[in-house]
């Protein structure tokens, strides 16, 4: 099964932001495109708006004048659904209400031919449930474009329970022919991206709710240590707190209130107060014209230690040893199996976040995970009220000597980046084990859909097969609500690795 022939007309029903974006993608790809909206005059307004965007593409030299004129000639507003009768594909992008979509699609079935592919751009509703209203649901598929559709490359091609394989393949090839990067997934709450991305927001909010750190500090650590494009607080302010919370709530409800997807009470209060982010002028941050940018907590300068002693294998943080030596700090190595830690001159210990808390141990400071310790510009440290001031000062001075800003947060198990990445890895393994998508498609979706620096499986391979499981298992012991309980899929992944290496653990 191949992509649609360019001679085949395509229709988009619903002319909001997403509808216009999808229509523009199809138009630039070379199709004749028909626009329909139930509100009289909206389709013509949308066609004019698309034409204006094509003009801007010409100004930016991304489209020739001739191609723009040809595209405009292929764009036709429709006043009635009957004008879509000869279309080979109809994509609906109307209101996110099940009954509205079902009513529209039933009407379309009475108009289009039997070989017409019907698609929905829903981001939150079940493709299976929408298609359940159709006489022939086998030709119905989800085509989840990301906003803005002309710019973002990812398209989730979602197969409902009744979707024919040939229809999904046809949609997949069509998206690729349009210059997009399609990924195939089963009809699951949140599909790939909105399912696996939940911990990115949830763990940041959880650290805030535990008074571990303020939003500006958490965001800075996610960006400057974790390598994420934006922090969770600034990103949800951009998306809209109401929109982000609605997706979280939808996924949570669709999974029968699974504790792993529990919404944030702090975000709920933000929405209730009308602080929706940039669009309302205030969210987690003040976006007023005269507002000052919130600054992350950054520790005062401290004297670096003269030396550190490394005991065990630092694992994902092994690169730190080279950086410490390059900074002129002596590294003493002891061949003792005491775990993965650095011992500071005062006797205190420095360890990579592992899901445990500093208060459990004598004089331990934890440091957070970094995507790349050499390139990271900020490192988070956590300590308890029992940590010796000298130990914390030596830990701060050590990372400052490596050229890093240091943020000291509360005694939060798993800290910020580490717990976030571990949970993303876990949900990714769980999704693949349940047939939602392949590992490759999950990695592609998370890189392109939400701009993660690495896909979950790329992260898992870099950090070690047992890393995420061990951290979440420790977190689960300290929070037995089930939120951090490792999935059976992650357990099998970690155990299989240990077994191959001859371990009986």
Residues annotated as catalytic (active site), given as ranges: 123, 144, 156, 194
Q: From residue 491, how far is each of 81, 414, 433 by CA, in Å?
A: 52, 18, 11
Task: Tell me the three-class secondary structure of 415-442, residue by residue.
Answer: CCHHHHHHHHHHHHHHHHHCCCCCHHHH
- Cα–Cα distance, 54 to 60 (Å, whole number): 10
Cβ neighbours of residue 152 closer than 8 Å, sequence gap 6 or more? 145, 146, 448, 449
- Cα–Cα distance, 448 to 157 (Å, whole number): 14
- Cα–Cα distance, 375 to 323 (Å, whole number): 11
Task: Tell me the three-class secondary structure of 276-298, residue by residue.
Answer: CEHHHCECCCECCCCCCCCCCCC
Q: How many CB atoms lie within 10 A of CB 238?
A: 15
Question: What one-character DSSP code corresponds to residue 84?
Answer: G
- Cα–Cα distance, 456 to 447 (Å, whole number): 9
* Separation of CA 308 from chain center: 37
Buried b (16+ CB within 10 A) or exposed e, 179-189: ebbbbbbbbbb
How do beta strands 181-186 and 307-311 pair?
Answer: unpaired
| Angle between helix 467-478 and helix 488-500 axes, rounded to 10 deg | 130
List the structure tokens of 9.
């007309």
Provide the 3-class DSSP secondary structure of residue 337: coil
- Are 446 and 456 a contacting pair, CB within 8 Å? yes
Strand partners, 282: 277, 286
Buried b (16+ CB within 10 A) or exposed e, 360-377: ebebbbbbbbbbebeebe
Provide the 3-class DSSP secondary structure of residue 409: strand
- 304's enclosing H/E stretch is none
- Cα–Cα distance, 64 to 83 (Å, whole number): 30
Residue reference for tokens 């764009």 = 75
């Amino acid at each position: 099964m191949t992509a649609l022939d360019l001679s085949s007309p395509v229709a988009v029903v619903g002319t909001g932001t997403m509808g216009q974006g999808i229509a523009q993608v199809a138009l630039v790809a070379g199709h004749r495109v028909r626009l329909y909206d139930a509100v009289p005059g909206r389709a013509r307004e949308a066609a004019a708006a698309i034409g204006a965007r094509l003009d801007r593409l010409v100004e930016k030299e991304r489209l020739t004048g001739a191609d723009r004129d040809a595209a405009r000639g292929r764009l036709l507003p429709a006043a009635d659904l009957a004008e879509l009768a000869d279309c080979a594909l109809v994509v609906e992008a109307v209101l996110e209400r099940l009954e509205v979509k079902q009513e529209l699609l039933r009407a379309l079935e009475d108009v289009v031919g039997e070989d017409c592919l019907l698609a929905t751009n829903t981001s939150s509703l079940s493709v299976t449930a929408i298609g359940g209203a159709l006489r022939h649901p086998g030709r119905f598929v989800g085509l989840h474009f990301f906003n803005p559709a002309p710019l973002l490359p990812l398209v989730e091609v979602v197969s409902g329970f009744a979707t024919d394989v040939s229809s999904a393949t046809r949609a997949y090839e069509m998206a690729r022919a349009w210059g997009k990067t399609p990924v195939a997934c089963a009809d699951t709450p949140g599909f790939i991206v909105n399912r696996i991305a939940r911990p990115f927001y949830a763990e940041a909010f959880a650290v805030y709710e535990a008074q571990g750190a303020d939003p500006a500090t958490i965001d800075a650590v996610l960006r400057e240590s974790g390598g994420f494009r934006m922090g969770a607080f600034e990103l949800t302010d951009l998306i809209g707190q109401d929109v982000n919370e609605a997706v979280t709530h939808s996924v949570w409800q669709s999974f029968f209130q699974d504790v792993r997807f529990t919404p944030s009470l702090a975000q709920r209060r933000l929405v209730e107060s009308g602080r929706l982010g940039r669009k309302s002028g205030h969210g987690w941050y003040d976006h007023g014209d005269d507002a000052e940018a919130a600054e992350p907590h950054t520790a005062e300068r401290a004297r670096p230690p003269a030396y550190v002693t490394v005991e065990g294998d630092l694992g994902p943080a092994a690169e730190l040893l080279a950086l410490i030596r390059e900074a002129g700090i002596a590294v003493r190595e002891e061949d003792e199996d005491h775990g993965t830690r650095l011992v500071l001159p005062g006797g205190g210990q420095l360890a990579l976040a592992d899901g445990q808390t500093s208060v459990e141990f004598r004089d331990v400071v934890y440091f957070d995970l970094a995507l790349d310790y050499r390139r990271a510009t900020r490192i988070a440290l956590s300590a308890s009220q029992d940590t010796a001031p000298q130990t914390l000062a030596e830990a701060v001075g050590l990372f400052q000597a490596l050229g890093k800003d240091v943020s000291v947060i509360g005694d939060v198990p798993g800290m910020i980046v580490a717990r976030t990445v571990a949970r993303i890895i876990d949900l990714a393994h769980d999704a693949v084990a349940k047939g939602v998508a392949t590992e490759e498609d999950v990695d592609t979706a998370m890189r392109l859909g939400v701009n993660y620096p690495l896909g979950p499986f790329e992260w898992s391979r870099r950090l070690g097969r047992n890393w995420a499981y061990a951290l979440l298992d420790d977190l689960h012991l300290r929070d037995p609500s089930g939120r951090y309980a490792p999935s059976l899929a992650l357990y099998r992944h970690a155990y299989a690795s240990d077994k191959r290496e001859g371990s009986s653990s």
